[in-house]
Structure 1
């Protein structure tokens, strides 16, 4: 196995840093006086610049240096973080991302324009002209010469610090002459190649204050020795060359922070806070917890192996059930217990908080609010709710469409909201919560709500329904997910072409999820996505229809009842089942699958639900629960809507997994056809 690509490692760590910078900038827009946010964003920029230069991303280092220099004026309190300034800073962050991910697309003219606008807002004409600062950080009329001597901790190289970059930063502050001290380099047999044995001393003449000089060592300050004195206070030594012995030797080599790679921001946080000063404390910290970066492909491969193990365990259980050997039965039960635990642990590794997804939409709402001239507040609830990483990735695009539509079509402008007695700013709520074996993700707005009459008129105009057809509001709202359907009077750059909501529905259904939509005219709309916890392994109910076996997701099963002979006969005309005074339509899977075998005398009905709708599925036999390892169907079966996948049973045969959402829709459609036919017959009978 080859070693990881350093450039790719930097890209991954830079993505986390850029995400942190974006979140801090968005927070800063609402809280400009928050010094902690400013410092955190500045530290992330500083780390990004140093790491970029270390890994050969020179364009990133140069642009980030100018960005950092301008942003430093916010940190020093020279200017405040206005809305316009934050907007330009976000554009600069986007340009850095482009330089890292797609260097060939990085246009220097775009970078220069962003920096020009940034410096114009700050009030300076050119980058790199820091304001003079005195001894304590105040403006100074004349440059000050400092005597500087420092020795870094031996482990700085291991932790990712490049001393040459620190020297370059010191030279950038003014006229600097430094002399290395090589007296600490041991003999060859005692030399550690990853340890730093050098120290430096010399003179620095600059208009910057002490704070600016100490900021150069921001991330290594707690584990180093630094002597920094104005030359006026050391006149006796003015003519003497600053000796290396002026640098006090470190009291002992600092232990490595950890054996595992650390993200730059993690190293910066540790250096800033000074945690784990002693080797014992660090050792204890390493044992108590930590994280390890693992490639997503390896997790997917692990999940595939666990799936195969579940299938093999099912085979072993089947063999054990057919034998009288108690030893084999005991081993089978133990293997089943261990496999179940391994399955849960592996699935837990793949689970990530949905808050990592919610954070992305803050920028989307910020930009749409600016482009549409609407004040929009984004509220997120349930960020700690965990979902399979694959599902989190697939949810991004559907949620983008829903949020864009909510802001563009749902939220009114400030004047309209004031007329309706609402606050001038609209609110978008992103909510995630558990509901049994499902996760519900809701996008809610406090806008005008849906107009059922307009949706009906548009559906009739498009020929989707007959004029005057009786449909509930919930059924009308489903037309919004029809390809090309839109009630927008004007087409904008944001939406209005009807090419977004159908993508949302297809994506959610591909994840075996459903969409519920409710609205309160004048008060807002809620769109709820119902999703399974995982796409890899689920608990299923195994049933038999004719000679074939099928799996039904157990999370969709409400109850199982026996189909009485009277209901069977009556159902030939109406296909309804009376369950506790509630009529439930049912489908005969034998007829749908065209089994060609006679019906068995004691058939069963599995009542399943999708959202608020229920339907009964008539089967010949209920075999029992089954750990279902989901296998995707091939492209040849892509148009088969009745099944969502397949699984391999213990005996090696294949069982198809029923698509509950599609079957429920089919059952409801059949109910509507029967009801409409009854109305038509009644109308004919009343005619003279």
Structure 2
């Protein structure tokens, strides 16, 4: 069994706390007087400091101690936090992140940050009496001032794992005046005692105005085996101190007056950290199981004993459930990705001198973990472009009759078996004339090409394309948008954009829910069998024999809509028998549609996606492969690429389109 590395546990938990801290600091930019946000930031810092010291991250603990001191002064002053202090706090947060991964990172830079924090934070005693009293009265109104009883016992192997109980006691004592008692009931006889085991528990009575969460945060990095109880003693501390002679009775009586008991251990037990590579291995095994089950179902389809067919059907049902459960484990709310961009927009707002309102929605929408990880960089680039190129300066916006603050919206929504992510800004929109001029200068299009604005906009995805007048830190080198498109298409997704001059631009990404197992339509083209993702299939129609115009370009009239179609036999140079009655599978991505002419539709099946080797990396018409029930290989069609090929067809003027059956 692999032993858990305590240092790695600290790094993982600290990263989560730093993400929470960043979110809290960004919230403080919008609500600088919110005392709960200040307290939350202080608690996160206090927890990182204590746990860093416990796990041997001395540099982290020392830096965070100075960081925490500045926030403690803010907390005690009761004054609203300044925008400059939030900016410095974000820099300090980044420095802590660096120290966690490299304890020797830029100590001089850390010292400069702490000096600046010390200078800008409210000084001790600098606040008015009213402001100092405010947090205390607020805490009292919230019912958190008073005495707390904390009873805890560490796991038996705590000492062997390097945990020092005295550090926990020191942290509790920092919260407020504390009375500490040892609980020795579980200490065994001397001949049964293991010197590496922890048998002692502790009871600590604390007088503090901190909320219960601050006390529980002291134990945030302990394992699920921690025995912890935090309870409030109703009787005010002043009354207890006034009758010292009654202390023995007072100590026992409050046990029945517990107001709140923590359920943190139970909540933590409901979560399990699993390395991502284990989930990947699990999905690989489930995929192989689905393939084996498909082969078994094919073998038992005709002529097998009824009992064997029944077992095969039951196995299919069970494997289907296992597949869905395994895929569900990999699904992650996209909000975990959206949250990262608040800091990006905040930094861009300061560096560019633009007022920006960043709005997100659909954070609960779930995507495969791999998709979310690979989506991060494209979205960073798109948001940078929206802020740098899309949004005007405040003066220009006001002159155009717009609010001084620009808006960038990022949203996600389910769309069948896909997720649609939209990025919208209310800026100046795309300049079609400028894009065309640059495209002609770069040789992307010819000067005499006839193109509508809707056809010109996608040219920004061409390699090396840029309309920036000068190269800046953010843009202008012509590197990025083509990579964004390539990344999205590598995820079997599509990217579209629309723009309206003076009103803004919307970029739409359509992405599959998962990259592991999908539903597919199996078709035959010549002697080959190919799989089409069902999420892209709109409908199937008969191909009329006369569906070719006199200039050789193929179009169908489907209920009044002109749809180009590709003859896959010609595209793939397929050999084998040609069907007299070909079918057209109409696939779509957003508003774009194309028909795929095939010889035969064989039915639906589960597609376990296998990546193509490097030798086949140039086959852009295919996004992967799958193994069929008979053991043969079926290539998976790259719908986005085929739709792009269909979009290159222009409907000829005056053509009489053939009505599809």
- Normalising by structure 1, what TM-score? 0.82
Alpha-carbon distance change, 597 to 5 in structure 1, aligned in 2, over 3 angstroms:
same
Q: 1:278-427 maps to which residues of 2 (within 5 A)?
A: 290-427=270-407
Q: Is 1:150–1:199's contact at 8 Å kept on the other side of the alignment? A: no
- 1:545-564, Cα deviation, whole Å (9 max, x unpaired): 11111101111111112223
351 and 153 in structure 1: CA distance in 2 versus 1, 3 angstrom threshold: same
- Matches of 1:291 and 1:272 in 2, distance apart? 26
Alignment partner, residue 597 of structure 1: 576
What is the rounded CA distance, in whole Å, between the counterparts of 2:185 and 2:317 in structure 1?
59
Match of 2:142 in 1: none
Distance 1:444 1:514, change over 3 A: same
Three-state SS of the structure 2 residue aligned to 1:567 is coil
For 1:641 and 1:173, locate their aligned partners in 2 and report how far apart those are by CA, in whole Å.
Answer: 62
Query: Which residue number in structure 2 is paired with residue 496 of structure 1?
Result: 476
Is 1:519–2:473 an aligned residue pair?
A: no
- What is the match of residue 223 of structure 2? none
Matching of residues 496-645 of structure 1 within 5 Å:
496-567=476-547, 573-645=552-624
8 Å contact from structure 1 (residues 605, 618) kept in 2: yes
Aligned residue for 2:262?
275
1:14-41 Cα offsets, whole Å, 9 max, x none, are 1111100110110011111212211122
1:92 is aligned to 92
Q: 1:463 to 1:178 in 2, by over 3 A?
A: same
Cα drift, residue 296 of structure 1 = 1.4
- Structure 2 equivalent of residue 33 of structure 1: 33
Any gaps of 5 or more consecutive residues in structure 1? 126-132, 139-148, 238-243, 253-270, 679-688
- Superposed displacement of residue 526, structure 1: 0.4
CA deviation after TM superposition for structure 1 residue 479, in Å: 1.1
Partner of 1:464: 444
Offset, 1:103: 2.3
What is the DSSP-based 3-state SS (H/G/I as helix, E as strand, rest coil) of the residue aligned with 1:76?
helix
Give the Å deviation of 1:384: 0.8
1:83 corresponds to: 83
Q: Which residue of 1 aligns with 2:68?
A: 68
In structure 2, the partner of 1:663 is 642
- Once the two structures are superposed, residues 565-623 of structure 1 have per-residue CA deviations (whole angstroms, 9 ceiling, x without a partner) of 2336x588232222223322221111111123352222221111223222211111111
Partner of 1:5: 5
Q: Distance in 2 between matches of 1:591 and 1:576?
A: 15
Secondary structure at 1:565 match in 2: coil
Secondary structure, aligned partner of 1:396: helix
Corresponding residue for residue 419 of structure 2: 439
2:103 aligns with 103
Query: Against the structure 1 CA distance between its residues 399 and 305, is the aligned structure 2 distance closer, same or farther, given a 3 Å change threshold?
Result: same
Structure 2: segments with no counterpart, 5+ residues: 125-131, 138-146, 219-228, 656-661
CA distance in 2, matches of 1:506, 1:213: 50
* Deviation of 1:213 (Å): 13
CA contact (8 A) 2:148 2:208 kept: no
Q: Deviations over 1:382-406 (max 9, x none)?
A: 1111111111111100100000000
Quick one: distance in 2 between partners of 1:471 and 1:515? 20
| 1:114 aligned onto 2:113 | yes
- When residues 246 and 182 of structure 1 are mapped into structure 2, their CA distance, relative to the original with a 3 A threshold, is farther
Assess, with a 3 A threshold, how the Cα gap between structure 1 residues 152 and 486 changes in structure 2: closer, same or farther.
same
Distance 1:377 1:32 in 2: 17
The CA deviation at 1:291 is 2.2
Q: Compute the displacement of 1:418 (Å).
A: 0.5
**Is structure 2 residue 16 aligned with structure 1 residue 16?**
yes
Give the C-alpha shift of residue 652 in structure 1: 0.9
Contact preservation (8 Å) 1:199, 1:247: no
Distance 1:587 1:571, change over 3 A: farther
Deviations 1:274-319 (A, max 9, x none): 3349xxxx87x79xx9222222111111111111111011101100
1:154–1:567: structure 2 CA closer, same or farther, 3 Å change rule?
closer
The answer to whether the 8 A contact 1:549-1:655 is kept is yes
Q: Look up the SS of the partner of 2:29 in the other structure.
A: helix
**Which residue, out of 623, 626, 634, partners 1:647?**
626
| Cα distance, 1:611–1:227 mapped onto 2, change above 3 Å | closer
Is 2:230–2:262's contact at 8 Å kept on the other side of the alignment?
Answer: no
